[in-house]
Structures are given as C-alpha cells and as structure tokens.
Amino acid sequence: MNETEQLLKQVTDRVRASVREHGEALPEPLADGEAERAAQALGFALPPLLAALYTRIGDGGFGPEYGLLPLRQTMAEYEAGRASDWGWPEGVLPIADLGCGMYACVDCRSGTAQMLLFEPNPGERDLAWYLKSPSLAGWLRDWLDGTGWFRDDDAWDEDEDEMGVTPWAEFSARCAA
C-alpha cells in the first residue's frame, strides 16, 4: 500500500468512527466522472488526493475544522473569489471553511497540492494569503495526528505564532489582473 492509499485509509477510518460516534451521515461520494467534469469547468485539474477524497469517501462534510466543502460549493466559492475585489489566485481552490471568512485552500497548480490559508480579516488583499502546509497530504496528516493548526489550545506554547504560517510569496504573480 503506497503512502496515498495509507492516508486515504486513515482518513476513511477516522470518518467512519466519527459517523458511528455522532450518527451523522456523510454525503455520498461523487459519481464517476464528476471530479473530471468539475476540473473541466474550473479550467484546472484537481490534485489526485483531493479527487480521491471526494470520489472515495464523500462529497465533503468530513475533515479539519468544519469539514471539506462539497465540490459544487468549492467551485462556487472559487468563482465568487475570482469575481471579488480580493483578486483570488488562479488555480487556488477553497476546500474548507475555517470560520470568520477564512478558508483552507489547495493550490491545484503546485506539484504537492500545497495548502494555503485565506485570511481576509487584516483587510488588505496582499496580507490575506499564507502558506499553511507544503502539501494536502501533510495538512491531512496534521489533522489526523492532532498536530499543527489542529492542536488543542492547551498544547500551544505562549511564544508560538498561533497561525503557524508564512505569507504566500506567489500571491501577486498568481492573481488575475
């Protein structure tokens, strides 16, 4: 079993345990071809791991924070961001609502599907984008392990930057005019 398959199994096991514990059903996984049609509509491919989450586990409703957004909602949020004054970067798909206007986003153009944080609360578009994790796989592992952003409040060091992120240097180059 390769690393991706192992990670998918761990996510699936955690999701199943959560469903058993809370009794809430997940949305069905995407049907055959839906992820490919979404990629065509977006104009870029979904990272294979993200597509597998949607097609093998469920169309959102599980995962970090409030859970992954359903794919149709991620597409709508992407289009809304592209039309907004924020200058949403090309190929960056919001996949999880973190509350307070913040989103966890996957950079579909990076080879590792790096994870970005969109944090508009400073009010300046150049200060709203941060590199959160070098990869979608790493972001999911942090969630599974309860590390990184997903640690309990008691685990934080007083001197530690709570966001644990650095500004995303590619924002200006990737932002549509």
| 8 A C-beta contact, residue 143 and residue 64 | yes
Please report the pLDDT score of residue 20 as a whole number: 83
| Closest listed residue to residue 129, CA positions, set 96, 92, 95, 77 | 92
CA distance 131 to 147: 16
| 8 A C-beta contact, residue 175 and residue 169 | no
Please report the pLDDT score of residue 163 as a whole number: 47
Tens digits of per-residue pLDDT, 85-123?
Answer: 887 899 999 999 988 889 999 999 999 999 999 998 877
CA distance 81 to 116: 14
CA distance 59 to 68: 8
CA dihedral 111, 73, 63, 133 (to 10 degrees): 30
Secondary structure letter of residue 23 according to DSSP: -
Please report the pLDDT score of residue 59 as a whole number: 95
Torsional class of 46: left (φ above 0), alpha (ψ -120 to 50), beta (otherwise): beta
pLDDT, averaged in runs of 10, over the chain (177 residues): 90 86 86 94 95 94 89 91 86 92 94 94 84 93 83 47 70 74
Instruction: Please give the domain boundaries of the chain with CATH numbers for all domains.
Output: 3-150+163-174 (3.40.1580.10)
Q: How far is CA 80 from the centre of its chain?
A: 17
Tens digits of per-residue pLDDT, 114-131?
Answer: 999 999 887 788 788 999
Q: Is the pTM of the predicted complex or chain greater than 0.85?
A: yes
CA distance 119 to 102: 5
Cα radius of gyration rounded to whole Å, the chain: 16
